Amino acid sequence: MTRYICMRIIISIFTIFVLVTITFFLVKLLPGDPFMSESVPPEIRARQLAFYGLDRPIVEQYFLYLGNLLRGNLGTSLRFLGREVSGVIRTGFPISARLGIISVIFSYAVGLTFGILSSQFRGRLPDYVLMLVALIGVAMPSMVIGPLLRYIFGVRLGFLPVTGWGTVRQIIMPAFVMSLGSIAGNTRAMRASMLGVTTQDYIKTARSKGLTEVKVVLRHQLKNSLIPIITGLGPTIAAVMLGSFVVEQIFVIPGLGRHFVNSVNTLDYPLVMGMTIFYGSILVFANLLVDILYGVVDPRIRYT
């Protein structure tokens, strides 16, 4: 198990290095620069580029950035004058993380419950209704369902606030919008996984022993159905976190998603790099955690 974990850690570190390298050169390929404007004289623009080291050869900039990154320095934002990129992340991430955690918990709680119920009522009305809900969740992106819910529950009915962050009522709509796609995916995955183990010999043996259907589902069928769900935990976390870019714009939430979109529009290179590395590290760590959990749940994985 120790060797298995060490190998996964090494792969994760290499993945982050590749992410940093590719992102750095892709950002430099963006046309223009953050100081290009008709109102900025060429002399001032040249001084600004020299001050931030953007006039140096790109390879030299790359190695300087790697050196600063190894020291934990993500650079200074070009848009938020005088603010470190790490400071911007520390300010916005708790908001995005809170929204993401609530969405993930809600999506798994509802999605797994719907999947179990759908599998137990296979071919009957509850199964069709739950699969219809899952289909709607997959078909409607957050950029569509978000404004629709704002209009219905915020403008027309006045039940919930349409913007802002902090209160429980302000969290409900954005958390639901972010989790809707995951709820649909978890419902479909759990239903398929539950139905996949229904015909296994150990399920038949459990029923032949006289166990109630509830005990068969919870003790035997559910446990073995969770393996593919755990495998999808990392991508689900990443999808929810990345989905916050759109949701935070729609509901005017002061999280990292809004900062990331604005940094791309204003060509704030250090902020784009810092947030990409930060989000990429979260995804890599989530996948590392899933790999370890997968090895714990299924010993065949770590031995292989």
Q: Is residue 156 part of a domain?
A: yes
- Residues in contact with 115: Cβ distance below 8 Å, sequence separation at least 6, in sequence order: 186, 187, 188, 189, 190, 191, 193, 194
Reported as a pLDDT band with limits 50, 70 and 90, residue 80 is: confident
- State pLDDT tens for residues 244-292: 778 888 888 888 877 777 787 777 888 888 888 888 888 888 778 777 7
Question: By the 8 A CB rule, do 173 and 149 touch?
Answer: yes
Q: Which of 50-54, 69-73, 117-121 has the lowest mean pLDDT?
A: 50-54
Number of domain units in the chain = 1
Q: Round to whole Å and give the CA distance between 146 and 45.
A: 40
β-bridge mates for residue 1, sequence order: none
Predicted local distance difference test score (pLDDT) of residue 47: 73
Reported as a pLDDT band with limits 50, 70 and 90, residue 155 is: confident
Instruction: Give the residue with greater pLDDT, 244 vs 6.
Output: 6
For residue 153, what is the DSSP state?
I
- Residues in contact with 24: Cβ distance below 8 Å, sequence separation at least 6, in sequence order: 62, 65, 273
The CATH code of the domain that includes 137 is 1.10.3720.10
Q: Is residue 136 part of a domain?
A: yes
Residue 281, both tokens: 């590290």
Predicted local distance difference test score (pLDDT) of residue 166: 76
For residue 253, what is the DSSP state?
-
Reported as a pLDDT band with limits 50, 70 and 90, residue 127 is: confident
- What is the longest distance spanned by two Cα atoms in the chain? 86
Q: Which domain holds residue 127?
A: 91-260
How far does the chain reach from its first CA to its final CA, in angstroms? 11
Instruction: Give the residue with greater pLDDT, 154 vs 227.
Output: 154
Q: Is residue 60 part of a domain?
A: no
- Residues comprising the chain, all counted: 304
Q: Is residue 22 part of a domain?
A: no
72 has pLDDT over 60 = yes
Q: Is residue 11 part of a domain?
A: no
Instruction: Give the residue with greater pLDDT, 119 vs 33.
Output: 119
Q: Round to whole Å and give the CA distance between 163 and 148.
A: 13
Find where tokens 């969740």 sit.
Answer: 137
Predicted local distance difference test score (pLDDT) of residue 244: 73
Q: Is residue 15 part of a domain?
A: no
For residue 172, what is the DSSP state?
H
Q: What is the DSSP string of 208-250?
A: HTT--HHHIIIIIIHHHHHHHHHHTHHHHHHHHHHHHHHHHHH
Query: Which amino acid, one-letter code, is at 4?
Result: Y
- Residues in contact with 68: Cβ distance below 8 Å, sequence separation at least 6, in sequence order: 74, 75
- State pLDDT tens for residues 217-246: 766 677 667 776 776 676 666 666 655 778
Q: Is residue 144 part of a domain?
A: yes
- State pLDDT tens for residues 7-53: 888 888 898 899 889 988 888 887 766 666 555 566 666 776 776 67
Q: Is residue 269 part of a domain?
A: no
- Exposure string of 146-179, with b = 16+ CB inside 10 Å and e = fewer, is beebbeebbeeeeebbbeebeeeebbbbbbbbbb
Mean per-residue pLDDT, 70-77: 83
Mean per-residue pLDDT, 61-84: 82
Average pLDDT, the chain: 78
Question: By the 8 A CB rule, do 34 and 78 touch?
Answer: yes
186 has pLDDT over 70 = yes
Tell me which residue of 269, 90, 242 sits closest to 181, measured CA to CA: 242
Predicted local distance difference test score (pLDDT) of residue 300: 59
